[in-house]
Amino acid sequence: MPETEAPNIAGSLILLGILLFIVYRILLAINNQNQYESGTNERSEGATVFKMPERRAPAAPPAQVTLAPAPEGEDHFAELPIIDEAHASLVNRGGLKLIGDFFVQEMPGYYLRAYTHPEHSLIGIVYRDPSDRSWVNLITEYKDGRIITTSSADEALTQAKRPKGMPLFNHPGMQAEQLLRRHKLETRGQEKADPVQPEKFTLFFASNYIKLRSVTQETPPPLPDTERKGKILTFPGGTPQTPQGEKPANDDMMPDASQLRAWLDAVYKAVPVPQEKQAQFKRGLIWVLDSSGMSAIAETISKYASVSVDEVEKGRWVIRTEAGAEDIISPGNLKGVELFEKVNASLPADKRFSKLPVKIKGVAFYNQIKV
């Protein structure tokens, strides 16, 4: 055999190996593609089908709840960071007595440790939810049925709308000792109900829950997008006007459309508003008559400051933000600008209205838009 024949054979074997490897890779790619295509066909037998997990909407809160005593030997509060301070403050400083631990049968993972005062209407509850969040609620009931709550819960847990007569004063993360002082300030000088006896606590809790849920089981009618009836009106995006076909309350004291236009002209003369900001400025512009009462002021502020201003009893109103009730207003004999200024001063700083330098007798103008 010639000496050059061996290298030729070796080269041929190497080339053949490369070709076989290329063929193998092509066949493997084709096979993988076939498996992918068959996997996407739900009717293919033996195919592996991968599906994204379904996103389920969070379950709605139950219409009512039932408390049951926690089983003996189970302590769901032992490792909570707030429990030692909360227990010591409620018992030693607040004078409350421990009732016991409970769980909510309709809401797995919710536990509460309850306390009640033997002589006064004062209940303390330490909560723990399924996410291991914990907070303290202090509750006082009055003989007229009102119930005031002071809470240390996170803001995300206090977003639900509350019915009239059940305000919530929220102080996220506040220790129980400070919470007790705040609660006493909010509940002083009132005729309180009798203390809740330990054996009546579960019934009180269930009844209280039903009252809170009552406002979320009905859909309130939507607020109008533009005009407001009553003694406070706003300028909608177009020409100021009274809603067509409607007769506003106390219309003998209301300006007509031509007077509203004159007022708007006076506003623009006193406040130089750039053309590109006039539409936004006009939407946030409100005016207050000297005769404006609390109902009209509350209605307008509720919408344009994105807060809730509700009458909790005759002569007492509560301002509630997304975080809960912030302040209580007693209008007394105030009305018009003086009353508006009092309510405005109780709003959070970022929601307050600024008075405009417009001099027209009997009316004042405000806006939240800075120009």
Q: Of 118, 167, 159, whose CA–CA distance to 139 is shortest?
A: 167
Could you tell me the pTM of the whole model? 0.47
Look at 45-54, 131-140, 148-157, 173-182 and tell me which has the smallest mean pLDDT: 45-54
What φ, ψ does residue 180 adopt, rounded to 5°? -60, -40
Split at pLDDT 50, 70, 90, the class of 232 is very low
Q: Amino acid identity of 153? A: A
327-348 exposure pattern, b = at least 16 Cβ within 10 A, e = fewer: bbbebeebbbbebbbbbbebbe
- 90, with CB counted inside 10 A (0-12, 13-18, 19+), is buried
Q: Widest CA span of the chain, in angstroms?
A: 126
Query: What is the edge-to-edge ordering of all strands in the sheet holding 147-151?
Result: 67-69, 97-104, 111-116, 123-128, 134-141, 147-151, 168-170, 324-329, 316-321, 308-313
Q: Mind listing the pLDDT tens digit for each residue in 254-267?
A: 566 667 777 778 88
Taking each helix axis as running N to C, give the angle between helix 336-345 and helix 294-304, from 0 to 180 degrees, rounded to the nearest 10: 40
Query: What is the average pLDDT score of the chain?
Result: 76
Question: Is the pLDDT reported for residue 96 higher than 90?
Answer: yes
Q: What is the Cα–Cα distance from 371 to 317, expressed in whole angstroms?
A: 32
Region of 311 on the Ramachandran plot (φ > 0 left; ψ -120 to 50 alpha; else beta): beta
In the chain, where the domains are located: 67-214, 232-367
Q: Mind listing the pLDDT tens digit for each residue in 134-143?
A: 999 999 999 8
